[in-house]
Amino acid sequence: MATSRRKADDKPKFRTVAHAIRAGIFVDRMYRRVNTTTLLQFPEDVVKTLKNLDDWSFDIFHLAEATNGQPIKYLAYDLFSRYGLIPKFKIPPATLETFLHRVEEGYCRYRNPYHNNLHAADVTQTTHHMLCQTGLMNWLTDLEIFATILAAIIHDFEHTGTTNNFHVMSGSETALLYNDRAVLENHHISAAFRLLKNEDCNILSRLSREEYRELRSLIIEMVLATDMCSHFQQLKNMRNLLTLNEATVDKPKALSLVLHCCDISHPAKRWNLHHRWTMLLLEEFFRQGDLERELGLPFSPLCDRNNTLVAESQIGFIDFIVDPSMTILSDMLEHILSTINVSPPEEPSTEPDPITAFSRRHSSRKHKILKPWVVWLTENKKIWKEQAIKDAAARLTEKIEKVETVDIENAKDDENTEQ
């Protein structure tokens, strides 16, 4: 249905027929499938919002409002349609709708401020941006794209709103089950695949045994890599790999880094989105801190609502976590796309000789991708620095006022004593 014929005299956008066909299929599906969905009817506001789904700073909060709090259901269904996963893997539309509904319920179980269905939808959309806008999808098989989208959807399924450290320190049943290792990540995967065992939710029922094993293995590796305990080792391994001559990037490792970076990407989005996510995450941390106080446990980092420096913490998070992650991700994507037959974007030439200009454009296989996150990381860090200065001044003023109050009270006490 989706294959579009190309005129004989048209020049292909990519250097291989396979990539050209996939690009044609994808573009053809992009904005036509929503209104013709067999079972799931998309409200007009949802259709309008999803037209911006490829944007880096897509407003998932606006989509949540348009969908009456069901962003996963509509966003994921749309992506399954755009990538042709429904006909390719013979997924019954009613089964997909039921599965997404149950996933949404699982995300809302603990009423978390941050780790909820909006976060899952946001990470899924960001993953789509990485696949689509960089051209990474041309490096992947249909099954790998399926696994990547599905991993993003379920990567925090049934999140408890507390950290792995809290589970371990409190001795929760989940920590005991998974022996204190990647407690939440193991639960997300296990709970999601248990859900897929239900006949009315099993969107994997038509996969062959080999396809199922490959998809499951890839999802497990990707979701486990979202554990922050593996963050620095993950970056180090990829950085070292990219320094090698003729480096070959392992697909599971590459996709794991993509999902991990998408999971922590909100500081690299537009300020109003980043700030809103930050406040929601801090509220979730503070609720954990309140529990830790009640249980007599030491406060986890950023969980003490009375002593957390918000601006400083975000500056540190950008400098030491997000910025290095996005830099290595960019280098990895450009390396991968330089090794496949995807032409780098052409720029206007200033060469007088067209033949010379063409040769110079194509002499290097280095593929450059657009990096909208660079601008927002810089801008957001600047705003946080300004806020940090204001906060420091406010704390100093408060401290001075307290000292003056104490001095006045002491003076009164001395006066009373003398009398």
Residue 203 C-beta-side C-alpha neighbours within 13 Å:
29
At 36, phi and psi to the nearest 5?
A: -105, 15
Where is the binding site for Zn(2+), in residues? 119, 155-156, 263
Residue 196 neighbours by CB distance under 10 Å: 20
- For the record, the structure tokens of 281 come out as 């995450």
Query: CA quadruple 20, 254, 161, 316: dihedral positive or negative?
Result: negative
How far, in Å, CA of 178 to CA of 165, rounded? 13
Q: Is 115 a catalytic residue?
A: yes
Q: Would you tell me the crossing angle of helices 93-108 and 71-82 to the nearest 10 degrees?
A: 140
How far, in Å, CA of 14 to CA of 45, rounded? 35
The catalytic position among 19, 62, 115, 367 is 115
How far, in Å, CA of 93 to CA of 38, rounded? 7
Which amino acid is present at 198? N
Residue 216 C-beta-side C-alpha neighbours within 13 Å:
17
Which amino acid is present at 35? N
Task: Report, as residue numbers or ranges, the catalytic residues.
Answer: 115
